[in-house]
Amino acid sequence: MSTALEGTEVRPDEHPIAPFMRMDRMPHIWCPECGLGTVVKCFAAALEETKVDLDKLAIVSGIGCTGRTAGYMKLDGFHSTHGRAIPFATGLKLGRPELLVTVFSGDGDLVGIGGNHFIHAARRNMDLFVILVNNFIYGMTGGQNAPTTPIEARSSTMPFGNFERAFNLPHLAASCGASYVARWTCLHVRRLSKAFGEGLNRKGFRFVEVIAPCPTLYARLNKLGGGLDLMRFYHDDAEVRNGADTREVGIAYQQKIICGKFVDEEKPTFLEMMHAHYRRILGEKYVPMPPEGGLLRG
């Protein structure tokens, strides 16, 4: 603890985001200088701002560092299997359509092992808000190459530098049909909170990619300094370009990171299309799933 804070110690339950957190699970397992704390803080700020009904908000994570988020937030939280957060969340949404379902997971989880689910959920414009925290590496397992690792960057499984091309995630989501696509870094806290607020309030497949520092593995293996150095890099080399053509927002190693809101369109969602279709074809015979779900009562 720094001396500046002496005598002004804040009790954990007085922390501004405490109402959204499982404070009985603190301290968390994330490393010092990791960007995840900032992302969670921005998400909590968006919950505060949007006043969404927290009882109807479910959060689903897969496996990995970001995957722990579902366990730290005081919501109905599901820590599912590696890569399967999106299909798990799809079941939650379709089983009880009134739920607001958020997926909170990492790049390896959502577009590595879970890539197939990601593109199909975007194609369906499934009613999910997907937050992907991209640290360019597999953190939890110790710094292995990810489908987001830029060419030339080192990882523990590409010790001589990566030679595989990385995904351009906003373009992947947009080209599959997502309603909302944005990218921000951990430095852009106000814009990130705003994007989370928009994500919570929009319909269909909403996707926010958050670029976050991994000082322990990505930065160390690549000699990029600490978390603060990465934040400085975001400060100097992130460029806000709202509405940019997503074909042009791919990330190259230590090159400019294009941030912004790239897609924000009203498109019919999976549930809207399903209801409209069955109503048109079946008319009065169509019985939709009740908003509160298919629970049978006596």
Partner 1 sequence: MHAVPSGVLTGVHYLDGDFACGEGAMAAGCRFVAGYPITPSTEVVERIARRFPMMGGVFIQMEDELASMAAIVGASWTGTKSMTVTSGPGFSLMMENIGLAAMMETPCVVVNVQRAGPSTGLPTMVGQGDMMQARWGSHGDYAIIALCPQSPQEAFDLTVDAFNLSEQYRVPVLIMMDECVGHMTEKVVIPTADRIEVVPRTLTAKSPAEYWPYQTNGGMVPEFARAGDGYRFHTTGLTHDERGYPAMSVECQERCVRRLVEKIRSNADRIVRFEEEETDGADVVVVAYGITARVARAGMELARKRGVKVGFFRLVVAWPFPERRIRELAGGVKAFVVPEINCGQMVLEVERSAAGKAAAISLPHAGGGVHEPERIAEALVEAVK
Interface pick for partner 1 out of 7, 27, 32, 298 (rule CB under 8 A):
298
Q: Nearest approach, Cβ of 199 to partner 1 (angstroms)?
A: 19
Burial of 18 (0-12, 13-18, 19+ CB in 10 A): middle
Cβ distance to partner 1 smaller for residue 87 or 112: 87
Residue from 127, 145, 128 nearest 136 by CA: 145
Cβ distance to partner 1 smaller for residue 124 or 183: 124
Residue from 200, 212, 217, 21 nearest 100 by CA: 200
Size of the site for partner 1 (CB under 8 A): 51
Q: Residues 79 to 138: which contact partner 1 by CB under 8 A?
A: 79-81, 83-84, 86-92, 94-96, 98-99, 116-117, 120
Interface pick for partner 1 out of 1, 4, 5, 296 (rule CB under 8 A):
296
| 13 binds partner 1 per the rule CB under 8 A | no
Q: Scan for tokens 């279709």, then name that residue.
A: 277
Q: What is the DSSP string of 167-220?
A: P-HHHHHHHHT-SEEEEEETT-HHHHHHHHHHHHHS-S-EEEEEE---IIIIIH
Burial of 222 (0-12, 13-18, 19+ CB in 10 A): buried
Residue 247 structure tokens: 């074909």
Tell me the per-residue interface mask from 244 to 283 with partner 1, x by CB under 8 A, - otherwise.
------------------------------x---x---x-
List interacting residues with partner 1 (CB under 8 A): 22, 24-25, 54-56, 58, 60, 70-71, 74-81, 83-84, 86-92, 94-96, 98-99, 116-117, 120, 274, 278, 282, 285-290, 292-298
